[in-house]
Chain A
Amino acid sequence: MTVSIIRFGGSNCDRDAERALAHLGIDAEIVWHEDGLPADTSGIVLPGGFSYGDYLRAGAMAARSPIVSAVREAAADGTPVLGVCNGAQIGCETGLTDGAFTTNESARFQCEHVHLRVERNDTPWTAAYDEGEVIEIPIAHGEGRYELSERRLTELEVDDRILFRYCDEDGEPSAAANPNGSKHNVAGILGDRKTVAVLMPHPERATLPAVGPTDGQGILRGFETA
């Protein structure tokens, strides 16, 4: 039972994810996308980076690569899938999750620590937190602004599919705490199943104690509990 971290050309957070998962005692290996999904895959990470140089749109090319149909089938069968940053963009481009992550409102690449409010804790990815808990995780993206029609976004909210929102230290999802102009401060969402989640912030960069806050550990522990 191994978590497969899928490496595309231009992925660059695959090794970070592997080290972070190893730190938590979760068995994981990097899988080159052309080699297909290993049969013993117990979970899938779509890692951060700049797959295919963000050509056309961030995540657009990777989302059309052959391994994605295997990822889609695994996700439908209940295999936990976590998309981080470019992996979140890929997740939305594949239709695993609703919406699109596009150019930051600032039109700049932003690399900073942000606060996230845990919107629900009955998912594998958030079971380690309390509902409404505020966690600190870094972002590093130029295209992280969550876009979706108001009508569809409201449906997602009614279905309780929002996993994380950008917020201030007190948990208020204010405009000032929204780093990229995301609709309704959305930072992470669930797919059709609670076992499928994408988020722009990097939990793997907030896991190793040597590099700072470790609030991201709980998200990665989703692979243990899913």
Chain B
Amino acid sequence: MTAYTATVTVRLKHGVLDPEAETTKQALERLGFELEALRSADRFEVDLEADSIAAARERAEDMAERLLANPTIHDYDVEVDDR
């Protein structure tokens, strides 16, 4: 077994409205910043042990599918690193 950290990033699908990001963008503009757009995402760092990097990735993807992301509104990606 090897120790890994799987990083799961969950984002709203393209085209899904993100009112919190829009509010954050407006707040940045009030502070005087210039920006065109702002997107937010959730990042989960999962420490786990697995037989291989592929097994660690598979488990993290399963976590994303079953809980961390909602496939109706989210896309996600998974990166796995040795820990």
A residues with a Cβ closer than 8 A to B are 56-57, 60, 64, 92-93, 98-100, 102-107, 145, 147-149, 181
Contact = CB atoms under 8 A, between A and B. Distances in A.
Contacts of A100: 70, 72-73
B82 to A, nearest CB: 27
Given A103-B19, A105-B19, A107-B22, A56 B68 contact: yes
Given A56-B67, A60-B67, A64-B67, A103 B72 contact: no
A54 to B, nearest CB: 13
A60 B44 CA distance: 16
Contacts of B17: 105, 145, 147, 181
A147 B67 contact: no
Interface of B: 16-20, 22-23, 66-68, 70, 72-73
Contact of B72 (A92, A105, A107): A92
A149 B19 CA distance: 18
A60 B19 contact: no
Interface of A is mostly: loop
B43 to A, nearest CB: 13
A94 B50 CA distance: 29
Nearest to B44: A56
A64 B73 CA distance: 18
Nearest to A148: B72
B44 to A, nearest CB: 9
Given A57-B70, A93-B70, A102-B16, 17 more contacts: A56-B67, A60-B70, A64-B66, A64-B67, A98-B72, A102-B73, A103-B18, A105-B17, A105-B19, A106-B19, A107-B20, A107-B22, A107-B23, A145-B17, A147-B73, A148-B72, A181-B17
A98 B68 CA distance: 18
A57 B23 CA distance: 19
A50 B18 CA distance: 21
